[in-house]
Structure 1
Amino acid sequence: MTLTRLLAATVATLTLAACADAPEPAAEATPHGYVAGAEELPEPRPAIAYATRGGDRLHLLDLTGETETHVALRVGAQRIVEDGRFVYVDAGDGRVEIVDAGVWTVDHTDHVHYYRAPARSLGVLTLDAPATTIAGAGAHTAIGTTSGRVTVLDRRALESGAIVERTTLGSATLAVPYADALLVATGGRLVATDADGRRTGKLAVACSAPRGWAVLRGGAVIACENSVVRVKERLTAVTLPASAVPLPTTGWAYRPRSNEAATTDGTGIWSVNASTGTLRHVPGRDRAAVASPADGATVLALDSNGVLTSVDLNRGTVLATASVRGESLTLDVNRAYLAEPRARVVHEIDYRDGLRTARTLRVSARPDLAVEVGR
């Protein structure tokens, strides 16, 4: 063999050996934030989910494109509750229909992901009695009834389109999913359990007549008769005493991914900050509903005549009044939404600019019941 042929053969042999020893190309890793069956968006795509009382449709008003779609319901809507993605349509008779609104936000604290998928009804959950409380967050949804029982659903299964019951808790008036646990009100105390109802032993604090909850950035807050219990991620609790006036039973309203929430009993406003562990009361009559824009200084208040005002948290004085009226109030990180059922409109309010009306959005049916999803 000539030298040229010898070198060629050697190179070929080395090349084949190198190919044989080379590792297989690594499979492409699942991209961060990937969700099967959903489209990830560069910005949120919130929607107003609304229904006519007793109606058999849940309407979804896209706030970006100002387009409207609907999902047919099997129950007549008497109340609707949202958890950011899912809308729980309460028929008032022990039946709750669960609708995937198809828009949602995933909060990783240091960054946020936004998603969109087809909206659809997941089916009807039949309970032993009418529902009283509905709390969905993270891996679970807990639904309490007038019988004193709480049904715990696998919320991850809801994301896949299935209604899966994990367990039923007896002698419980409220359960709030938080930090991979359930905060359960039972026997005048607030305790922590796992998803199957077994006590973790990490939490046991007095809480009589629980009456509203919120999961905020700085912790979960649960209103009791004369106090608010704040629970941090390690399931440590601090009790924030209220005055002699019992706390309202209307529940908390707040801007997503914030630390502040507000509630009212018609004679005043209560404001809680989960980060600082503070509870404030601002006297003032005729407050039908309130919501916190989480600026540490103001609260939005809706009176019995449908007039929306911005109220100074320190002095209780009115700072601004909206030029429109409505019957229900919800808000996100930029805007407040005021539904006016008789006129079949939803008013978009810039609460950072003197309650200026940014848009008036016309809808196809009476928005008697309205919440915001995807925010």
Structure 2
Amino acid sequence: MKRTSVAALCVALALSACGSPPPEEQPHGYVEGAEESPEAQPAIAYAARGSHRLHLLDLATESPSAIELSIGAQQVSEDGRFVYVTDGDRRLEIVDSGVWTVDHTDHVHYYRAPARSLGTLTFDTKIATVTGFGAHTTIGTADGRIRVLDRRRLEAGRLVELARITAGGTGPLALPYADGLLIGMGGERIVATDAHGRESGALTAPCRAPRDAVVLRGGAIFACDNHWVRVKHGNPLSATILASPRPPGSHVRFGYRPRSNEAALAGHTGVWSVNAAKATLRHVPSAGRRITAAASPADGRTVLALDASGALLSYDLGTGKILAQAHVPATSLTVDVNRAYLSSPRERVIREIDYRDGLRTARTLRTAEQPDLMVEVGR
């Protein structure tokens, strides 16, 4: 009897196990709450200056949507997924655009989810820099302080502060890189720290008055007052100084194609083009034109520039010759792997430009408000 009941119990347990489905394994690239897509889901995020509404224009379907803001937009920036909107003073609102790309170097994943505002932060002094990449987002303010946010928590819809760092200077710049930060300390040098601002000793490099910084495939690039610095991932980190007798502009941003090694920056006398993998720097004179923005198609041969009249130009990097130009009244420029986008606020349009085909206008996209402020996300 005892053996029979044990056998019966074993059979019952076996039947019970058979009746319970095995736990499902999540497929590679699974992100909870998001839909994975076979191709990129780029969108233009734009706003009229002072507006309490951020518009999102889907570039695949041309369908519009909008997010209500709690502040009047004066400046916008992006990190591929999140749009950082400031009121030009002490308030920052973070918007999840709902479209993004995850780069695994040998392959990429594309995602879509509902767009939403994640909330607003208020700082003690004016916001000077906002940079997001990988695990962190950093905000530098005019009092020389940096606030570090957990960008992974932003992905889950939460604003979580990790640290407050005193860096010195009037507009400190902190670039998330290699699981930590590269900080322009005191406006004089770049140091490597952890996410809480503790110096690791892994790197110190001179950099007076850093203008802007960007993470490319071949390393991180800082544009400084009288030279450039390429920081390369490794054990330990390494820094290469790139000499530049002509300084870049003081209020400019890098323009670059995602997942590339090249980026461009407008300068006082022309356009700078930097290659992070090769640690090379080239300057293209603008022959009297005042360049307001620049971007790299990352083909090793050309660079795009927007001048003060609103004209878009394509320069040959080797000769400095103008290869093509488009006479459009544009105020901002962004590029992705296929196209460039120009905003024309007075006309209420955004032009899609084929930079591989003589700067041909491929599409003219109508906007609901003046696109005074424009960035591209999901690219």
Normalising by structure 2, what TM-score?
Answer: 0.92
CA-CA distance at 1:171 after TM superposition:
2.5
Matches of 1:126 and 1:22, distance apart in 2:
55
303 and 247 in structure 1: CA distance in 2 versus 1, 3 angstrom threshold: closer
Instruction: Quote the Cα distance in structure 1 between the aligned partners of 2:254 and 2:302.
Output: 15
Corresponding residue of 2:249:
248
Write the letter of the residue equivalent to 2:332: S
Which residues of 2 match residues 234-245 of structure 1 at below 5 A?
234=234, 235-243=237-245, 245=246
Counterpart of 1:157 in 2: which secondary structure? helix
Question: In the alignment, what sits opposite 2:282?
Answer: 280
Q: Give the distance between the partners of 1:341 and 1:306, measured in 2 at CA.
A: 11
Runs of 4+ more than 3 Å apart: 15-26
What amino acid is the match of 1:193?
T
Residue aligning to 2:65: 69
Q: Does the CA-based 8 Å contact 1:308-1:325 persist in structure 2? A: no
Contact 1:174 1:185 (C-alpha < 8 Å) held by counterparts: yes
Matched residue type, 2:189 = R
State the one-letter code of the partner of 2:100: W
Aligned to 1:183: 182
Letter in 1 for 2:294: V
Specify the alignment match of 1:5 in structure 2: none
For structure 1, the 5+ residue unaligned runs are 1-8
1:352 matched residue in structure 2:
356
- Report if the CA contact (8 A) 2:256-2:298 is conserved: yes
Structure 2 spans left out of the alignment, 5+ residues: none
- Which aligned pairs between 1:18-97 and structure 2 lie closer than 5 A? 19=14, 26-97=22-93
Q: What is the CA-CA distance between 1:246 and the residue it aligns to?
A: 2.3
Q: Which residue of the partner structure matches residue 226 of structure 2? A: 226
Cα distance between partner residues in 2 of 1:125 and 1:67: 30
The structural deviation recorded for 1:157 is 0.8
| Residues matched between the structures, number | 363
Q: Percent identity?
A: 60
Would the alpha carbon gap of residues 25 and 308 (structure 1) be closer, same or farther in structure 2, given more than 3 Å must change? same
For 1:168 and 1:132, how far apart are their aligned partners in 2? 15
* Match in the other structure for 2:114: 118
Partners of 2:16 and 2:67 in 1: CA distance: 57
2:97 aligned with 1:101? yes
SS in 1 for 2:255: coil
**Equivalent in the alignment of 2:142:** 146
Aligned equivalents of 2:263, 2:59: Cα separation in 1 = 24
CA contact (8 A) 2:98 2:114 kept: yes
What letter matches 2:261 in structure 1? N
Q: State the alpha-carbon separation in 1 of the partners of residues 24 and 242 from structure 2.
A: 50
Task: From 267, 270, 294, give the equivalent of 1:268.
Answer: 270
Cα displacement (A) at 1:17: 10
Contact 2:247/2:268 (8 A) holds in 1 = no
Provide Cα deviations, 1:143-177, integer angstroms capped at 9, x if missing partner. 10111111100001111111111111103411000
Matched with 1:365 is 369
- Aligned twin of 1:205: 205
Per the TM alignment, residue 365 of structure 1 is displaced from its structure 2 partner at its CA by 0.5
Secondary structure (helix, strand or coil) at the match of 1:190 reads strand
Equivalence for 1:298 = 302
Equivalent residue letter for 1:228: W
One-letter amino acid matched to 2:130: I
Matched position secondary structure for 1:88: strand
- Aligned partners of 2:209 and 2:49: how far apart in 1? 29
The one-letter code sitting in structure 2 at the alignment partner of 1:365 is E
Greater Rg by CA: 1
Distance in 2 (alpha carbons) for counterparts of 1:278 and 1:265: 17
- Given the superposition, is the C-alpha separation of residues 21 and 35 from structure 1 closer, same or farther in structure 2, using an over 3 Å criterion? closer
SS in 2 for 1:37: coil
Contact 2:149 2:163 in 1 (8 A): yes
- Give the superposition deviation at 1:248: 2.3
Farther off after superposition, 266-275 or 108-117: 266-275
Whole-Å separation in 1 of the counterparts to 2:219 and 2:32: 30
Q: Distance in 2 between matches of 1:71 and 1:295?
A: 35
Contact 2:217–2:261 (CA<8 Å) still a contact in 1?
A: yes
Counterpart of 1:129? 125
Moved more, 71-80 or 21-30: 21-30
Give the secondary-structure state (helix, strand or coil) at the position aligned to 2:256.
Answer: coil
Q: Report the alpha carbon displacement of residue 281 of structure 1 after superposing the two structures with TM.
A: 1.1
Q: Quote how far apart the aligned CAs of 1:324 are.
A: 3.1
Letter in 1 for 2:103: D
1:311 alignment partner in structure 2: 315
Please state how far the C-alpha of 1:76 moved relative to its aligned partner. 0.6
Deviations 1:219-273 (A, max 9, x none): 1101111111111122211111111x22322131111111001111242111110
Q: Secondary structure at the residue paired with 1:325? A: coil
Task: State the AA in 1 paired with 2:278.
Answer: T
Deviation at 1:16, TM superposition (A): 4.6
Question: Cα offset for 1:274?
Answer: 0.1
Q: TM-score, normalised by structure 1?
A: 0.93
